[in-house]
Amino acid sequence: MGNPISNNNITIIADSDTWIEGRAVQQLETTAKLPQMLRVAGMPDLHPGRGYPVGAAFFSVGRFYPALIGNDIGCGMALWQTDLPAAKAKPAKLAGQLGSIDAPPDAGWQARINEILPNHPFQTALGTIGGGNHFAELQTVDTVYHAGLLPAGFQTDRLQLLVHSGSRGLGQEILRRHVERFGHNGLAESGTDAADYLAEHQSALDFARANRILIAERMLAQWHGGGERLLDVHHNFLQQAEIGGQTGWLHRKGATPSDCGMVVIPGSRGDYSYLVKPAADCTHSLNSLAHGAGRKWQRGECKGRLSHKYSADSLRRTAFGSVVVCEDKALIFEEAPQAYKSIDGVIAAMANAGLIEPVARLKPVLTYKTGGNCGGEA
């Protein structure tokens, strides 16, 4: 069994051959020194963020830090079981039927929007994926490790749809207002300022979950198909939690909760995704898991590393034969599979640490990033 790396109040879940950039470890060490921060934990997908690491969880008492959650509050993964036959899946045809879903839904969707997120000021952004590492992906079952653990309703002969998106501009606006007033000093848990942030944070969580629902429903409508949501789990959020007998604030930034049942941990657009069952006791990782493979290269260096060998068009077809819909020529290089760690290593490190049991492995058929030019947060 693999051994987590522990030093004082810092834990990193890693095998001996897990590659983690030194700057990410430095950022994790910095967060461990924040006032009233008791413990921090880095996952195998740990990588540097904008001042704070991604792929990590942070536990504080008496004070919490909105900047650790970042600007995409509520970002997460939703897995849908579709009724689309896997055996008949033709990636290019599916891409043609889908077209672009970059623009907000038309007026025909308004009744559904009012049903899932009534009277919300950011309604017009619902149903859109955004930029950066966000995606929606049709997948097929490659391997089942434990059939008895598959979720109710899971069908191995049908396509699955995985949606990764968050709160879009809403989370950005919430963080901007907070940092303008309070900087990066965090908030004492008592008082109106903390209550105000927590209310806005909940609004962003509600938006993000509704957004993933509408993205899935829009896509399924284009394919004249139906589906059932099997799971939906945030990986950027703040919650009150009890750990080690102390009640405090658990921050997750690119860290999947281990106490919400079955979860999906995806690889890059040219790699597998894993459906996993978390262990009953994950306290040594702050009840958290990796949220993906984790970046290996910074965005700004990807095109320089790849453009001499690959064209943008060649990156729209993966080694699996799956199709990538991405008409943003910068993003196609930034999100290339080569820019990410291998998901197999991330899964192995968590399994060796006793955190998860793999249930099934999925492989991509169609990955949607953007049908046009898009920007957005990572």
Q: Which residue numbers are catalytic?
A: 291
297: left (phi over 0), alpha (psi -120 to 50) or beta: beta
Distance CA 276, CA 154 (A): 13
Distance CA 286, CA 368 (A): 32
> Residues with Cβ < 8 Å from 161, sequence gap 6 or more?
79, 80, 82, 136, 137, 138, 139, 216, 219, 220, 227
| Nearest one of 279, 290, 270, 283 to 45, comparing CA atoms | 290
Distance CA 66, CA 68 (A): 5
**183-186: Cβ within 8 A, 24+ apart:** 184/51, 184/65, 184/67, 186/34, 186/35, 186/36, 186/60, 186/63, 186/64, 186/65, 186/66, 186/67
Residue whose pair of structure tokens reads 């060649």 in the numeric block: 314
**191-195: Cβ within 8 A, 24+ apart:** 194/64
Phi, psi angles (nearest 5°) of residue 308: -75, -15
Burial of 196 (0-12, 13-18, 19+ CB in 10 A): middle
Burial of 180 (0-12, 13-18, 19+ CB in 10 A): exposed
